Structure 1
Amino acid sequence: MASEDQHEDIDQILNSWTFEPGRLTARLVTATDGRDVLQMRIEMGLLQMETSGRPDGEKPFNFDSYLEYLQAQYIADDSIMLTDDDCLEIDREFVQLYHRRICWLALREYEKAVRDADHTLALMDVCRDHSTDEEWIDSHEHFRPFVMFHRIQAKALIELEKHTPEHAIEELTQGVEQLRSVHQEYDPENDFDEDELHVRLIELRETLREQFEVGQTLNEQLADAVANERYEQAAKLRDRISKREDPR
């Protein structure tokens, strides 16, 4: 019995991985069966999550996530409304995905962060389209800009890693406009230009512009040419953009 208690004790893990207040620390480790698991250090222990599917490893009704289960139901009957049990499972999945998403961002695993952001946004769509509880819907929609912010950041950094600083800047510009549209729909009374998420994305964009000495991007030049009715220049810019984006 003593050896079993010793085996279950995680003091050694916690002592070797110190909690740092105000800093998110995460790591990928190999489990005893050889699979990778994601761990996040929290104040009184750690969270361990699966790297794909549902973070807790559960398979609701043999689906990889509760979202997939719900989507399968709506294929058969799009008029189905969420039950109380559905709402509880959705809330669980939201929290789990949040923890995994911020870990991916901390580890600079940006494609996985985008994947989990998309999962969360799809869950929000399910809540909005298949519930009549406006208060519950709003409790999730309140976080839509924040999830989008994470996604925009991650997409821009993917572009920076895989393509060019100009691509990253254009991704941020496009993302800002997407965020603006959501802000106008859900929070039109507040000034978007003063919104913290907007300010942080603009700061990231201008930091990249300065760091990599990027002036106006091709898309920014195109928008300027169209706005000033320089249509010949606009046509040439469209051709340059098309050639840049065509991999052949």
Structure 2
Amino acid sequence: MSLDLNDLLRDWPHEPGMIKVRKILGSDGKEKIQLRIDLGLIQMETSGRPDGQEPHDCESLLEYHQQRAKRNEKKGEKYALDAEEVGELQQEGIQYYHRYISLFQLSDYVGVIRDTQRNIDMFNFVSEHAQPEELAQSVEQFTPYVLMMQTRAKASIELEREEFATAVKKIEEGIEQIRAFYEGMENPEAGANSPELGFLTEWVEEVRAKQPLTKLEKMRREMDKAIANEAYERAAELRDLIRQQQQNKK
């Protein structure tokens, strides 16, 4: 059997600037995710740790450290992560990053929310336990990007349902979360130049523009048009209907 990966990749060429993802059935009968990169591909499990490993008989290194931290807490002892352990957690987080960007391309938004939340939990755990505290900055710096991807997934679910108002709300919540992160870091300049905030701010305006008008908004526009055309009787009828609608909402 040839071990040359070119035989496998020839029919699935890499295209610069494009994220190419597919699902395949593994030899174990389970579905796998493949991400095409310039020098080959990355293959991942659809759940659990992306590489399928179970470090220390746990689903992930994060879960392993969380369990140890809980045991220490029960003993009244502080749990600390050293530089090597933070580095290992960061490398594990990259696996989940590869999977959630792949899942986003596959429109598996629930999976994106799961994996982004997992990395956010890891950032928070490292922030709480890294010694010295400065070690946490190596992972915390990615928080705005992960929050942006999670927000995109949450809003995309609502857009698929054509729930435009809810999608707008989800994007606004994501924007506030990212702003709160920068405020907590006391770095307003970085917040002002944040590409994540820039993207979400533009996107929420696009979604608002596509949002269908409500019945009340349609009547208001029709009334304005009637007034402009000096159709005052029709404008008065619409005015009364609008007032009735507003009263019914109270």
TM category, shorter: 0.7 to 0.9
Structure 2 equivalent of residue 101 of structure 1: 100
Counterparts in 2 of 1:24 and 1:62: CA distance versus 1, 3 Å:
same
| Structure 1 residues 191 and 119: alpha-carbon distance in aligned structure 2, compared to 1, 3 A threshold | closer
1:195/1:11 CA distance change after superposition, 3 Å: closer
Query: SS of the counterpart of 2:22?
Result: strand
Given candidates 5, 9, 15, the residue that maps to 1:10 is 5
| Residue identity in the other structure for 1:172 | I
Corresponding residue for residue 148 of structure 2: 149
Task: Tell me what 2:45 maps to.
Answer: 50
Following superposition, the deviation at residue 81 of structure 1 comes to 1.0
Segments of structure 2 that go 5 or more residues without pairing to the other structure are 215-245
Q: What residue in structure 2 maps to residue 75 of structure 1?
A: 70
Q: Which amino acid aligns with 2:26?
A: A
In structure 2, the residue matched to 1:179 is 178
Q: Does 1:89 align with 2:84?
A: no
Which region of structure 1 is more displaced relative to structure 2, 158-167 or 92-101? 158-167
Q: 1:191 to 1:12 in 2, by over 3 A?
A: closer
CA contact (8 A) 1:82 1:130 kept: yes
Separation of aligned partners in 2, 1:91 and 1:210 = 39
RMSD: 2.0
- 1:46 Cα deviation after fit: 0.5
- Amino acid in the other structure paired with 2:125: V
Q: Is 2:195 the counterpart of 1:200?
A: no
Q: 1:194 to 1:9 in 2, by over 3 A?
A: closer
Partner SS for 2:81: coil
Distance across 1 between alignment mates of 2:85 and 2:137: 16
Tell me whether 1:61 sits opposite 2:61 in the alignment: no
Percent sequence identity over matched residues? 31
Aligned to 1:211: 210
Among residues 12, 30, 36, which one is paired with 2:25 in the alignment?
Answer: 30
Determine helix, strand or coil for the equivalent of 1:153.
helix
Kept in 2, the 8 Å contact 1:165–1:214? The answer is no
How much does 1:100 deviate?
0.9
With structure 1 as the length reference, what TM-score do the two structures score? 0.79
**Distance change (3 Å), C-alpha of 1:129 and 1:203:** same
User: Counterpart of 1:39 in 2: which secondary structure?
Assistant: strand
Q: Please tell me the residue identity of whatever aligns with 1:11.
A: N
**1:169 match:** 168
- Take 2:151 and 2:159, find their aligned partners in 1: how far apart are those partners? 12
Deviation at 1:84, TM superposition (A): 4.6
> Distance between the aligned counterparts of 2:10 and 2:104, measured in 1?
25
Q: Compared with structure 1, are the counterparts of its residues 196 and 84 closer, same or farther at alpha carbon in structure 2 (3 Å cutoff)?
A: closer
Deviation at 1:162, TM superposition (A): 3.8
CA distance in 1, matches of 2:156, 2:32: 24
> Following the alignment from structure 1 to structure 2, what is the Cα–Cα distance between the partners of residues 171 and 104?
19
Corresponding residue for residue 133 of structure 2: 134
Deviations 1:25-47 (A, max 9, x none): 11111111210111111111111
Change (3 A) 1:12 1:113: same
- Aligned letter for 2:39? M
- Structure with bigger gyration radius: 2
When the two structures are superposed, what TM-score results if normalisation uses the length of structure 2?
Answer: 0.79
Q: Distance in 1 between matches of 2:79 and 2:124?
A: 14
In structure 1, the residue matched to 2:119 is: 120
Partner Cα separation in structure 2 for residue 27 and residue 66 of structure 1: 27
Structure 1 residue 85 displacement after superposition: 4.5
- Decide whether aligned partners of structure 1 residues 203 and 189 sit closer, same or farther in structure 2, where only a CA change above 3 A counts: closer
On the 8 A contact 2:82/2:131 being kept in 1, the answer is no
Maintained 8 Å contact 1:41/1:47 = yes
Instruction: Figure out how many residues of one structure are paired with residues of the other and give that number.
Output: 212
What CA distance in whole angstroms lies between the structure 2 residues aligned with 1:44 and 1:36? 23
